[in-house]
Structure 1
Amino acid sequence: MHTPSWTVGDTTVHRVDETPLPPATGPWLLPGATPDLVTREKWLRPDFADDDGVLRLGSHTFALTTGGLRVLVDTGIGDGKTRANPAWHDLRTGYLERLTAAGFHPDTVDLVILTHLHTDHVGWNTRCTDDGWVPTFPRARYVVSRAERDFWAAYPMDEPRRQMFRDSVHPVEDAGLLDLVDVPPEGADLAPGLRLLPTPGHTPGHVAVRVGGPGADALVTGDCVHHPVQLAHPALGSCVDIDPALAESTRRSLLASLAGTGTLVLGTHFPPPTAGRVVGHQDAYRLTPVPGRFVR
């Protein structure tokens, strides 16, 4: 199995693929990204969009070692789970095999960072056994922002979301593995070279993850940016943003802070090559792709 990776200072970040998302995902997720708007951004092709303006999106996670910790950022959709979205329902992806092949057997993971508690970011928190859903990473500390967990605790959930919490969040809590972290405006350090940055809007407690330090750093976006088209059009929001105005403000501030800095941006749903650097383009930004290095 081939896993792309990027070197950031002393840290190697691996992209562990779960599944490509179907073409219908783009129009649903980013309804403002019409084919006409997408095709005008020629730099999106061929990597990030098709010639007919259909966005490409994927589901993957990032695995890395830093500060002596073996870290996983987000856990994807998960296998064998009952989901309302047909593209996420009862999957069989081989994800754990790819994670293990990248050198991160589930029993060796120390820290799982959840950028937020949406279905396609928490799925591999758990796996199915004869005893039901159990934590996939039994030695890990699962971390989410306190603001995120508190929000969903008070939220009037529909049945599909309650199901997701039952199979992917509650078993981790019941095992005593979920840690809630306060994330102030300046961010919160989890370990040397590993920092949570508050990026609210998509959800109230959403965080991005900064890896590395001055001179060599990367940022895992989570869902504060779903697709590179939002660099060119930061006003484009997701249909599932809890606070669309705040999500746009967060995205604009984040992109402005990244532009021209050389920070490697790793998009949680960006299709291959997945990573790049933010540069100014016309009156907004674009992503200059940085392909990963493939090792066996």
Structure 2
Amino acid sequence: MDRIVLGDVELTRVVEWQGAFGPASAIVPGVDEQGWQQARPWLAPDHLDPVTGDYLAALQTWVVRSGGRTILVDTGVGNGRERPVTPLFHRREGQFLELLAAAGVRPEDVDVVVNTHLHADHVGWNTRDQDGSWVPTFPNAVYYLPAADRAFFDPAAGHPARAAARAGGGAAAAMWAQWDQMFADSVAPVVASGQAVEWEGSLRLDGALELEAAPGHTPGSSVLRVHSRGERAVFVGDLLHSPVQLAHPSCSSCFCTDPAQAAASRLRVLQRAVAERELVVPAHFAGAGAVRVRSEGPGFAVTAWGA
């Protein structure tokens, strides 16, 4: 397991799955062939299959130990979920809890769960099946949920985009149906348990950790900043899907709700990462899982992989 120490904060990566996730050019469609070719030295072999051109990704959770507490940043896909639009996530049966135990964490040890946003691959292990019902996996944890995502994804909130998608049918309607199922099995039980805290703007978790809104990928997308004894990191969630977006920060992934807003958030967060020498920790980077960056031309470049 990857372990990084930043001052008094320890980060441990738990990888639920790692592998190919479709054509890279479809994941970040705004990058042209020349852009992909120029970025190949960064991308292959950890982030791009040089033979097939597939995007290589990881589904992972970071265990953050800070101030005597155990915090999970995102909770992956989960087991036994109905996700027909996304075959990789559909009825998955993995060993996440065993992997978490190997990192020294039992469910009852977790004090805080941070969902950087409410997509299916970030909330899945919020809950687990218990006698046919979905219950919180981490019984003693406070779950921090972005309020803007609760308002967007909760079927009871009646967001206009849901009605429009259903009226139009097709792929958009199918995705909203999957999001409804995701909310029902991975978010609503946490809310019903009384363990959820919704937040907006920014929220300090302790002296070293602060949540900050970074919308665009979803309305409530957020980042988690770490600052301890002069060392810094930023968990950027899905602001970055591929390292190619460092060189092309204006190019958002195909999964972004508001691509232009996501690009603005990405640029702002990366500029600060350079200025404050933050380690950048994206949700889905394979390989080392984290990167240090510098400004280069209109975008950014890799200084080093990992801590």
TM > 0.5 between the two?
yes
**What is the aligned partner in structure 1 of residue 250 from structure 2?**
235
Relative distance call for 1:26 and 1:137 in structure 2 (3 A) is farther
Local SS of the residue matching 2:76: coil
Which structure dedicates a bigger proportion of its chain to helix? 2
2: CA distance between counterparts of 1:132 and 1:257?
Answer: 43
1: CA distance between counterparts of 2:46 and 2:297?
Answer: 20
1: CA distance between counterparts of 2:46 and 2:296?
Answer: 18
2: CA distance between counterparts of 1:205 and 1:59?
Answer: 20
- Report the alpha carbon displacement of residue 21 of structure 1 after superposing the two structures with TM: 4.2
Question: Superposed, which structure 2 residues align to 1:1-296 within 5 Å?
Answer: 3-24=1-22, 26-33=24-31, 36-41=34-39, 42-52=41-51, 53-84=53-84, 85-152=86-153, 153-155=157-159, 156-157=161-162, 158-183=176-201, 187-213=202-228, 215-259=230-274, 261-291=276-306
Relative distance call for 1:197 and 1:31 in structure 2 (3 A) is same
1: CA distance between counterparts of 2:32 and 2:22?
Answer: 12
1: CA distance between counterparts of 2:25 and 2:99?
Answer: 29
Which consecutive residues of structure 1, in runs of 5 or more, have no partner in the other structure?
Answer: none
Q: Which aligned segments of 4 or more residues in structure 1 are displaced greater than 6 angstroms? A: none
- Report the alpha carbon displacement of residue 252 of structure 1 after superposing the two structures with TM: 1.1
- Report the alpha carbon displacement of residue 205 of structure 1 after superposing the two structures with TM: 1.3
Q: TM-score, normalised by structure 1?
A: 0.91
Which consecutive residues of structure 2, in runs of 5 or more, have no partner in the other structure?
Answer: 163-175
Q: How many residues align?
A: 287
Tell me if structure 2 keeps the 8 A contact 1:39–1:51.
Answer: no
Aligned amino acid, residue 252 of structure 2? G
Greater shift in the superposed pair: 47-56 or 129-138: 47-56
Tell me if structure 2 keeps the 8 A contact 1:80–1:92.
Answer: yes
Tell me if structure 2 keeps the 8 A contact 1:26–1:57.
Answer: no
Equivalent pairs: percent with the same residue?
38
Superposed CA offset, 1:227-269 (max 9, x none): 2111110121122211111111111111111125321111110
- Report the alpha carbon displacement of residue 282 of structure 1 after superposing the two structures with TM: 3.7
Q: CA RMSD in A?
A: 1.8
2: CA distance between counterparts of 1:151 and 1:166?
Answer: 14
Tell me if structure 2 keeps the 8 A contact 1:125–1:168.
Answer: yes
1: CA distance between counterparts of 2:208 and 2:103?
Answer: 21
2: CA distance between counterparts of 1:245 and 1:75?
Answer: 27
Local SS of the residue matching 2:204: strand
Relative distance call for 1:171 and 1:28 in structure 2 (3 A) is farther
Local SS of the residue matching 1:148: helix
Local SS of the residue matching 1:195: strand
Relative distance call for 1:124 and 1:233 in structure 2 (3 A) is same
